[in-house]
Amino acid sequence: MKIRSIFFLVGNMADKYSLIPTNEQDPFHSIILNKHIKETEDARLPGKSRIGMALDSLYKSGVNAPKPQSIRDIEVVTGDFLIKNVEAAFTIWQRSKKLTKCSFDDFCEYILPYRIENEPLSDWREQAYHKYSCLLDSIDDPIELAKAVIRVSGLKYNDGMNKYPFLPTFSELDHLHWGSCKHLATYLALSLRSIGIPSTVDVIPAWANRSGGHSWNATMNKDGLFEDVGFNKEGDNIVLHKIAKIYRTVYSTDKSDARHLNPLWKDITKEYAMPVSNLVLSEPESLSKDEMQSLCIFNNKDWQPIAISTEINKKKITFRNVGRGILFGDNKIAGYDNEGKGIIYLPASIHNGTLNAFTAPVILQENGDIHSLSPNHSTLRSISLDRKYPNYRRMAIYTEKMEGSCFEVSKRSNFSIKKRIYTITETPKHSISEIKLQPPITCRYIRYMPTEHSSVNISELQCYSHDGKLSGVPFASDKNRSLEELANICDGNIDTFYNDEHPNAYIGIDFGKEVEIDRIIYSPRTDGNDVIPGEEYELFYWENRWVSLGRKKADGFRLQYDSVPDNSLLWLHNRTKGVEERIFTYMNNEQIWW
């Protein structure tokens, strides 16, 4: 069996390689080795990771983009390395066999391999065994072992690590104590393999209703079945977005049925017990032998292939087991207004790396029905748009919580004598709201007071007199906040904000002297995806490519477009700023988001 194991590793080695920095002084690699970068719990949040900030600074500084060096295993892996790996894997497999129903084939795929993806080669097996083998003395359930490794490791999610251009080694992650979802899933898989538990990484190449993708750990349980494990103390794998495809990372090339996307992936979508369908589509009129037929989803600003079909029969192309937009288990999709019930797919040929749509986009609905989005030029309509991205509940709640909040003014810094000049009586309808004060109010200080038991979440507070905008110094109830944080409310950028969850919190502006205010502009904490006055937008519809319906500068909080073909897939692009944008259809005078 050991001989067969070596043949297995060598026989599937041709497409294995490491991606490493081109030199030891690579500035991106140096950042994760920098012991002076101290992270906080907030590093899990976008924009709060100091590693992420450091990497962003490098990207913006003009430093040459990282160019990973590819080193093929077949050129550097030695016989001694393989033998040592096989001996260690076999020894621990024999000890742990009783914990799972792990066959020899499973052993070869999920314990034996010396690597998971394209990380640098290292002696991870010995390092991980030394750290975690003691767990076998008291725990005999594989999933509980996974949870124990997570607790002992001390590793936590760090959003900034998504920007790191290489895959860290086991040792680097062990010392860093931070990682992206992929890093953490890989670390857990290597740790469990080192103690004889079959484990790997499952991958969503791209979410079906937002940008980005996801990875998590999959570990074989005592019944010989794989369970998804999230990297938290409870091992919960929390999924919040729509899934088109799920792939499992494997070692053997012949197990990969997605080799044209990634030779390390095996399609296991249907194993996750969520509703799936087989999409059967008409074959393109002219099909070249050099073309691959792919199924794509919209990943923010581009179509991204998430499945390749090799099944072409009787002028039909079949894409098997694709998601309908309903999640597995107890997972619920993160809520947003006007959610389309299903997933939009674009069938496209790939030739020399170029995508060419061979039919219209289709909606695969939650019930399995299919609707084609072919623009109807015989029926043109007028549409009114107010956003370029869905309004997620997690963001909408900040606006809703402003209802009942108020603005107070005073001539004294302690507000011992104060006057309430305005109460927000209903949820603001837009990202920017204006209050006109008649007659004008005279004061030195103004502050925003949330309702009782609520929090401060405000992005802008600007005051005007008849002479123009008033300047001042922001202040807050929390005296430990930096001026930089406080200044978010008066920097003219609604994408920045000030947050304080403490009871009776407030934030305001000291004008330095008594002033006369006749107008207040305020913004709730927002995602910046509303139509914003003064910014330029362009609307597109899809017909084999994105076709422009014209550019417009917003003069209000809505954009009006006429002569839009009915039954079109649409995309509103902000040409002024922003990142988040999402495709939509237009039904019953509303944007429906996909």
For residue 182, how many other CB atoms are within 10 A of its CB?
20
CA angle, 299 then 303 then 304, to 5°: 75
- The answer to whether residue 370 scores a pLDDT higher than 90 is yes
Separation CA 140–CA 123 (nearest Å):
25
Separation of alpha carbons 90 and 97, rounded Å: 10
Residue 291 pLDDT: 82
- Residue at token pair 């990969």: 256
**Percent of the residues in the chain that have a pLDDT greater than 90, as a whole number:** 86
pLDDT band at 128 (very low <50, low <70, confident <90, very high): very high
Long-range contact set of residues 46-53: C-beta below 8 Å, sequence gap at least 24: 46/159, 47/159, 48/159, 49/158, 49/159, 49/160, 49/161, 50/160, 51/158, 51/160, 51/161, 51/164, 51/178, 52/158, 52/159, 52/160, 52/161, 52/162, 52/163, 53/160
Predicted local confidence at residue 280, as pLDDT: 94
Burial label, 412 (beta-carbon count in 10 A; 0-12, 13-18, 19+): exposed
Residue 309 has pLDDT above 80, yes or no: yes
Residue 289, CB half-sphere, CA atoms under 13 Å: how many?
0
Tell me the two tokens of residue 178.
């931070």
Question: 380 pLDDT band (50/70/90 cuts)?
Answer: very high
Beta strands in 14-60 (DSSP E): 17-20
- Tally the C-alpha atoms within 13 A of residue 568's C-alpha that lie toward its C-beta: 27
Q: Identify the pLDDT of residue 481.
A: 95
User: In the structure encoding, which two tokens stand for residue 573, read together?
Assistant: 């692009």
Residue 531 scores a pLDDT above 90: yes
Average pLDDT over residues 321-334: 96
Q: What is the pLDDT of residue 254?
A: 80
Average pLDDT, integer, range 219-226: 97
- Note the pLDDT of residue 255: 73
Q: How confident is the model over 117-123, as a mean pLDDT?
A: 96
Instruction: State the maximum Cα–Cα separation within the chain, in Å, rounded to a whole number.
Output: 90
Instruction: Give the model confidence (pLDDT) of 53-108 as tens digits.
Output: 999 999 988 787 788 899 999 999 999 999 999 999 999 999 998 999 999 999 99
At residue 290, the pLDDT reads 73
C-alpha distances out from residue 313 to 282, 283, 310, 422, Å: 10, 9, 10, 69
pLDDT of amino acid 301: 84
Q: Across residues 378-394, what is the average pLDDT? A: 96
Q: Tokens standing for 440?
A: 């004008």
pLDDT number for residue 25: 85
Range with the poorest average pLDDT among 21-30, 119-128, 271-280, 529-538: 21-30
For 70, the token pair is: 């590819």
pLDDT at residue 63, as a whole number: 80
Question: 553-564: per-residue pLDDT in tens?
Answer: 999 999 999 999
Residue where the block lists tokens 């944080």 = 485
CA distance 184 to 170: 10
Instruction: Give the separation between CA 409 and CA 395, rounded to whole angstroms.
Output: 28
Cα separation, 161 vs 257, whole angstroms: 29
Which range (254-258, 388-392, 451-455) has the least confidence?
254-258
Cα separation, 99 vs 154, whole angstroms:
25
pLDDT digits (tens, 9 = 90+) for 156-207: 999 999 999 999 999 999 999 999 999 999 999 999 999 999 999 999 999 9
Confidence band for 228, pLDDT divided at 50, 70 and 90: very high
pLDDT at 326: 97
Q: How many CB atoms lie within 10 A of CB 507?
A: 24
| pLDDT tens digits along 257-274 | 788 899 999 999 999 999
- Which alpha helices (DSSP H) does 206-338 contain, by range? none
- Residue 477 has a pLDDT of 97
Task: Say whether pLDDT at 284 is over 90.
Answer: no
**pLDDT tens by residue, 68-77:** 899 999 999 9
The DSSP call for residue 567 is T
The pLDDT mean for the chain works out to 94
Whole-angstrom Cα distance, residue 452 to residue 503? 8
* C-beta of residue 128 within 8 angstroms of C-beta of residue 85: no
Beta strands per DSSP E along 388-455? 406-410, 418-423, 433-449
The per-residue pLDDT for 77 is 98
Task: Give the mean model confidence (pLDDT) for residues 362-366.
Answer: 98
pLDDT reading at 313 higher than 90: no
Radius of gyration of the chain measured on its C-alpha atoms: 28
Between CA 352 and CA 209 the distance in angstroms is 27
